Amino acid sequence: MPRINLADTVGPDVRVLIGQDRGVAVRAAMHLDELDNSQTSVEFVIPETLRTLTPSFVQGFFSNSVHRLGESGFFAHYKFDARPHIVSDIHAGIDRILTSRHLAGVD
């Protein structure tokens, strides 16, 4: 399973990742569209220095993946080596992605 260290893209001392635009930029830099199509699961290593991933960042970072893979497919494909509160932040962002799809009439 490939391991992708988020610190390699955002820097080792990052404390907070905020904003949908930043999520989209990090997604592009990490080539997530290609990773979505990978036949193997991918593990994200989230640096210990990171304190918060805002839901808006998660939306920008993972929205296309969730739309492409579905919720269960997303969590089967992507694994997270992160502190529990960061995993909770990721789930909160995914919930927002799914809620906004539902509100828009997309199933």
pLDDT tens per residue, range 61-96: 999 999 999 999 999 999 999 999 999 999 999 999
Q: Which helix (H) or strand (E) holds 53?
A: strand 52-53
Say whether 1 sits in a helix, a strand or coil. coil
Residue 105, pLDDT > 60, answer: no
pLDDT: which is higher, 100 or 47: 47
| pLDDT at 44 (0 to 100) | 95
8 A C-beta contact, residue 62 and residue 93: yes
Token reading at 53: 């991933």
Q: What's the pLDDT band for 1 if we cut at 50, 70, 90? A: confident
The residues spanned by each domain of the chain are: 3-103
